[in-house]
Structure 1
Amino acid sequence: MSVSNHTTESVRERADIEEVVGDYVQLKKKGQNLWACCPFHNEKSPSFSVSPSKQIYKCFGCGKAGDSIQFVMDIEGIGFTEAIRHLAQKYGIEIEEEKNQSPEQIKALSEKERQYVILNYAKEHFSLNLETEEGRSIGLSYFRERGFNQQIISKFDLGYSIESWDHLLKAAKTAGFTPEELLKAGLVLERENQPGNYYDRFRGRVMFTVHNVGGKAIAFGARTLKKDKNQPKYINSPETEVYHKSDTLYGIFQAKQAIKAKDNCYLVEGYTDVLSLHLAGIENVVASSGTSLTESQIKLIKRFTDHVTVLYDGDAAGIKASLRGIDMLLEGGLHVKAVVFPDGEDPDSYAQKVGAEAFSEYLTTNTQDFIKFKIGLSLNEGKSDPIKKAETVRQIVQSIAKIPDPILRNFYVKEASLLMDLEEDLILIELNKASLKPKERNSTFPEERSPQFTEELLPVAPLDNRQSEQKQLMSQEREVLRLLINYGVEKIGEELHVCEYLIEETGELQFETPVFKNLFERYREALSKGIVPTAEYFLKTSDSELKKELIDMITQKYELSSLWESRHQIFTAREADNLAKTIYDSVLRLKKRVLKKMLHELLDKIKLSQDAEIADLQQVYMEIKRYQVEIDQQLGTVISH
């Protein structure tokens, strides 16, 4: 079912763009707006802007733009209705359902949205199983033995799957879900060579719910408590429409606020490591869930902090096998530190062994910079072997070479020189060698591409003149509407409003770009009701394309500081300073583009026409041409022939 208009409006009023976006990225104040590296594309310098005053966001790199609702739709990959539900839950707004929905409305829920609903049902099902006799004696007993209290169990939606072939399947079917939907969500399996015969994927295991950044259940990890060598210790959800393992970090939803507050993220390996650290009062922790670290996971951490501390089990072989992760973190622009636990211990076991206070103290006193960690690890293995020492130097240099920041690289060169008792010049020589090597084709972080801008007011040497002219027409339509949206309520002269002049002058032109035509018609409709609409009036639409264009029209990448003008007495011209001329010229340019298109269409007709019609068409052509010359003269441009 969809939510009521009242609920939607309540969400619009309460959902603050800074709070909503701040749940997903670390925002920093610059000028009037807030900035961050864009969560939608890979970039090294922030081009993602949030305007608290306008309640919108815009990325000047990839072009993503919208309000709080659109941001949730974009970041979560869900539809409008699910975004409203998400925000209503965040702000404690009661959700009113629309009644008497048509079959089309019910069917309108996307497959992705439906999967979220199913996975949430499964999460609650597994949680309730802990209250059954089997769940208490096996699942709850295991969690209690590990020291996980009810607060941790609820916080992470821990649960239990009943030892049965179809316990979840039967319950879900009763709740209105089909076996095919459960299969797509990764909750059931289909028997081989028996189409239509389904059974539960998870049976007789304790369940760990995997959440996305927004807190939605997207997958499950399941641990067996039986000592059966034929059964894997853990089984996990497969890749689905909503779950991609390489993009996910266990505990990110529960940790994101603490990561931002502490400006550091602890990185561990497994589910129980995360739970034990939370139990010890350390909440800024996530797990890669036993997988090798990926580029997407690193980007996810970087949304909230530039600092990561990797916690390693006290197992030398395991540490060496996972060292590549440090280089990937460095290459991703993160500042990396490390902690190694005593032999045979991992974060989970050590936290339980020594208690919360001693565990926190251990982290504080044993955290070391990645370079000290790597040098110490390598030199301990080959103290008296010159060949191994030389190899250690090369490995350290390879890591330093991954660091994007040249100042930070130089700092680490000096530190490595001191720690390894080597001349700094020798390390610099090795660093230059590493930097001069051709970049690997499968480099973890490809070079950032230049932002792609949508407006092409002056295309250079277009391949197709007609296509180029169409783009110019589109740009000029956008420009006229930009002025209408930004200055519609302003006056030019004593009585005439900008909106009245623009509507009168462009009303018969017929905008050709569908989104601009839609916006213009909505504007005229609002005026007919006695409303002079602003951008905020239209941002309430659920039309994401229209919303994006609106935000493009009301945002700019750079802000001119008023301090610069007052301090240096250097003043720059603004379009609003001579608004009448700006509006007048813009309308003329639009008319010029429309006329140019009409001339091309007439030429095409003349070529295909009979002799009797050609004279009339030529007459029309000359009339339009004369009008075009007048416009050129008024604009002071070169008269076209």
Structure 2
Amino acid sequence: MISNHTIEEIKNRMDIYEVISDFVQLKKAGSSYKALSPFTDEKTPSFVVSPSKNIFKCFSTGKGGDPITFLMEIDGLSYMEALKYLAQKYGITVEEDERSEEYNHAQNERESLFIALNFAKDHFVDNLWNSDEGKNIGLTYFKERGFSEETMRTFDLGYALDQWQGLIDASNKKGYNEAYLEKAGLKIVKEDKSYDRFRGRVTFPIHNISGKVIAFGARTLKSQEKGPKYINSPETDLYTKSKILYGIFQAKNEIRNLANCYLVEGYTDVISLYQAGIKNVVASSGTSLTEDQIKLIKRYTDNVTVLFDGDKAGIKASMRGIDMMLTGGLNVKAVRFPDGEDPDSYSRQIGGEAFKAYLNKNSLDFISFKTDLYISGTVDPIKRAESIREVVHSISLIPDPIKRTVYLQQSSSQLGIEESTLLTELNKLLLNESKAKYQAPMPMEPPADLFADPQDLEEQVLPQTVLQNQERENIRMLINYGQELIVGLEGQEINLAQYILTESEDIEFTTPIYDRLLNIFKENLLEGKVTSLRDLLSHSDEEVRTVAVDLSTERHELSPNWSDKFQISVAHERDTLKKSAFGSILRLKFRIIRKMIADNMDKMKLAVDEKEIDGYLSVISDLKKMEMAIAKELGNVTVK
């Protein structure tokens, strides 16, 4: 429903680095950037971002595209949602084409859920500030906790009226489809009755990483309430509690800027710390920490500081989360508060500046924290030995061997135990883990021709496969350099695309997707336009978009050190475009002729008439001459 003018403006403004760096830690790698894939588990970065081409490519999963595609993949947004996200990011006014009265009902399922949840958020916020009940109960509660109006509005805090169908009635008046209230977890239906899930409670909207409301937490303020103090939205198509962290939308930029994430337990902990000036804070919302939540943190930083309540027993119960973070490759620190205090209460008690100072002073790495927690004051030798094994077990979970060694040395000093003793225990744990993980049949023996001559190996590859690879190479050059200017045969400047298409006009590609791409270039050139990568990324054919990204992204890039540091000049194909293109076309023709020879040889074997056989021999002879001529031009030493 967004106008073409607005879409074009968004595409002109969007920057792949600016968009992706909001979600992923990017590190410079030549002219591109690299990162661990946000879509899968991996230890070696395979996620590449190319600012010059405004695209990304994940070599682990095969995903790739422009900033719009990334937003759709990373956060499950629809195309229109991704455009609106970018418009908001770049301050672009969204112009919409004329739409019908039934627009909200005609949206797809996912967008309708977002609409219902956003309406509920606005309704609860309006209740808090404008209804007598909301002001007297909800607003009073938040003010008693010390929350300012600015903080309340930052987190969209609200109040659900103590009515059975307050939200349902308001929704019906606005013409929303009531079915989506149920699908979004806002309405409960039992037999023939329906009622609001949240009633008489203050509300805490849960935002996804792009800022859209996907669920709610709600707290009762009634001391005599029989049910739980907090209730939460059920899981829906938009909300999986194990994959989101409360406050991540508000905190993500600060987490990345400060290279640290504070992890707390509840909603009010996040809000109190945010108001105290500590904005790089998120909560697991009362659930046990999950692998998906750890991955979400790792998008923005490798460093986590866990803030524990003062209760020692509760801390020990939460130590599994620290072990999971270590396994996930995070650097973990922890802070413990005085008995009876939590991050919310203690920050309000001592004030923002003093609280920051407390965190800095009492932040311990996980070894020191775990040693103090388990071993401090322990006299019983058996319990002490078990506690030491707990510490070594945590060290064994660290994937980086250098970090493991450093922590082992540190724990040896703190525990007063020989490093060799701890190392023996560590190696035992690592060995047991390896046995459990890698018990599998031995790999098969390598094929006998593994080290055969490359030319011999090429003969074993099907001619069609070799031809397909060469077609791919020609399309790759068209996509990457089609708009570049070269000197043509008659001395005039022409685009490389025009040169390649002219030189290969008598060739038909056998691979369907490459043939479609070739025709796109041909059709646009007839209209005087050279197809760009951006044109292909906006194409309606998904396969065209995917192949365009694949062929325009290199997983590895030559280090500039060869030239800058070692003064070793390495030529790039861009420096010799005409020669590279000419060579690519010749190799394609060479492969076509070889396939024609192979096809005619196969036909000749089936022929029974001598005249027919002579005809095939004549054709093969002519093809061989052409093959030799092209081979000579290419500089091939031998032609089989």
TM-score of the pair, normalised by structure 1 = 0.87
Equivalent residues in 2 for 1:191-202, closer than 5 Å: 191-192=190-191, 194=192, 197-202=193-198
Alignment partner of 1:225 out of 221, 224, 239: 221
Equivalent residues in 2 for 1:424-443, closer than 5 Å: 424-439=419-434
Superposed CA deviations along residues 262-304 of structure 1, whole A, max 9, x for unmatched, are 1111000000100010111100100001111111111111111
Contact kept? 2:409, 2:419, Cα under 8 Å: yes
Equivalent residues in 2 for 1:267-416, closer than 5 Å: 267-380=263-376, 382=378, 384-416=379-411
Contact kept? 1:179, 1:198, Cα under 8 Å: no
Question: Tell me, what secondary structure is at the counterpart of 2:215?
Answer: strand
2:118 aligned partner, one-letter code: N
Question: Tell me, what secondary structure is at the counterpart of 1:189?
Answer: strand
In structure 2, the partner of 1:57 is 56
1:141 aligned partner, one-letter code: T
Contact kept? 1:66, 1:544, Cα under 8 Å: no
Distance in 1, matches of 2:97 and 2:616, equals: 55
Contact kept? 2:520, 2:531, Cα under 8 Å: no
**Sequence identity, in percent?**
48
Worse-matched range after superposition: 354-363 or 241-250: 354-363
Aligned-pair distance for 1:486? 2.5
Distance in 2, matches of 1:13 and 1:159, equals: 38
Superposed CA deviations along residues 541-578 of structure 1, whole A, max 9, x for unmatched, are 46554333223322323333444236534333543455
In structure 2, the partner of 1:446 is none
Distance in 2, matches of 1:620 and 1:118, equals: 72
Q: Does 1:522 align with 2:517?
A: no
In structure 2, the partner of 1:71 is 70
Distance in 1, matches of 2:169 and 2:605, equals: 71
Question: Tell me, what secondary structure is at the counterpart of 1:437?
Answer: helix
Aligned-pair distance for 1:535? 2.3
Equivalent residues in 2 for 1:111-150, closer than 5 Å: 111-130=109-128, 131-150=130-149
Distance in 1, matches of 2:317 and 2:629, equals: 73
Alignment partner of 1:234 out of 223, 230, 248: 230
Relative distance call for 1:507 and 1:161 in structure 2 (3 A) is farther
Equivalent residues in 2 for 1:442-461, closer than 5 Å: none
Alignment partner of 1:480 out of 474, 482, 487: 474
Contact kept? 1:48, 1:58, Cα under 8 Å: yes
Relative distance call for 1:79 and 1:603 in structure 2 (3 A) is farther
Contact kept? 1:633, 1:639, Cα under 8 Å: no
TM-score of the pair, normalised by structure 2 = 0.87
Relative distance call for 1:254 and 1:638 in structure 2 (3 A) is same
Relative distance call for 1:409 and 1:260 in structure 2 (3 A) is same
Contact kept? 1:333, 1:404, Cα under 8 Å: yes
In structure 2, the partner of 1:178 is 177
Alignment partner of 1:262 out of 258, 265, 271: 258
In structure 2, the partner of 1:95 is 94
Aligned-pair distance for 1:532? 2.4
Distance in 2, matches of 1:220 and 1:582, equals: 58
Distance in 2, matches of 1:460 and 1:299, equals: 46
Aligned-pair distance for 1:204? 1.7
Distance in 2, matches of 1:23 and 1:583, equals: 38
Contact kept? 1:309, 1:337, Cα under 8 Å: yes
Equivalent residues in 2 for 1:622-633, closer than 5 Å: 623=619, 627=623, 630-631=626-627
Worse-matched range after superposition: 421-430 or 576-585: 576-585
1:12 aligned partner, one-letter code: K
Contact kept? 1:80, 1:542, Cα under 8 Å: no
Distance in 2, matches of 1:206 and 1:265, equals: 27
Contact kept? 2:593, 2:627, Cα under 8 Å: no
Question: Tell me, what secondary structure is at the counterpart of 1:568?
Answer: coil
Relative distance call for 1:70 and 1:13 in structure 2 (3 A) is same
In structure 1, the partner of 2:530 is 532
Aligned-pair distance for 1:631? 3.6
Question: Tell me, what secondary structure is at the counterpart of 1:336?
Answer: strand
Superposed CA deviations along residues 66-93 of structure 1, whole A, max 9, x for unmatched, are 2222211221212221111111112221
Relative distance call for 1:100 and 1:394 in structure 2 (3 A) is closer
Worse-matched range after superposition: 536-545 or 483-492: 536-545
Contact kept? 1:126, 1:159, Cα under 8 Å: yes
Distance in 2, matches of 1:333 and 1:391, equals: 25
Distance in 2, matches of 1:587 and 1:165, equals: 73
Aligned-pair distance for 1:632? 6.7
1:485 aligned partner, one-letter code: I
Distance in 2, matches of 1:473 and 1:245, equals: 50
Aligned-pair distance for 1:528? 1.7
Q: How large is the Cα RMSD of the aligned pairs?
A: 3.4
1:273 aligned partner, one-letter code: D
Contact kept? 1:112, 1:242, Cα under 8 Å: yes
- Name the count of aligned residue pairs: 615
Contact kept? 2:22, 2:253, Cα under 8 Å: yes
In structure 2, the partner of 1:163 is 162
Relative distance call for 1:315 and 1:9 in structure 2 (3 A) is same
Contact kept? 2:25, 2:301, Cα under 8 Å: yes
Contact kept? 1:313, 1:343, Cα under 8 Å: yes
In structure 1, the partner of 2:580 is 582
Relative distance call for 1:401 and 1:186 in structure 2 (3 A) is same
Worse-matched range after superposition: 563-572 or 160-169: 563-572
Question: Tell me, what secondary structure is at the counterpart of 1:438?
Answer: helix
Contact kept? 2:159, 2:203, Cα under 8 Å: yes
Relative distance call for 1:624 and 1:162 in structure 2 (3 A) is farther
Question: Tell me, what secondary structure is at the counterpart of 2:217?
Answer: strand
Contact kept? 1:57, 1:66, Cα under 8 Å: yes
Distance in 1, matches of 2:614 and 2:72, equals: 53
Structure 2 segments unaligned to the other structure (5+ residues):
439-453
Question: Tell me, what secondary structure is at the counterpart of 2:262?
Answer: strand
Distance in 1, matches of 2:504 and 2:38, equals: 39
1:558 aligned partner, one-letter code: H
Distance in 1, matches of 2:617 and 2:200, equals: 81
Contact kept? 2:151, 2:271, Cα under 8 Å: yes
In structure 2, the partner of 1:499 is 497
Contact kept? 1:588, 1:631, Cα under 8 Å: no
Superposed CA deviations along residues 182-237 of structure 1, whole A, max 9, x for unmatched, are 22222222214x4xx53322222111111111111111111112234531211111
Contact kept? 1:70, 1:544, Cα under 8 Å: no
Distance in 2, matches of 1:603 and 1:128, equals: 81
Structure 1 segments unaligned to the other structure (5+ residues):
444-457
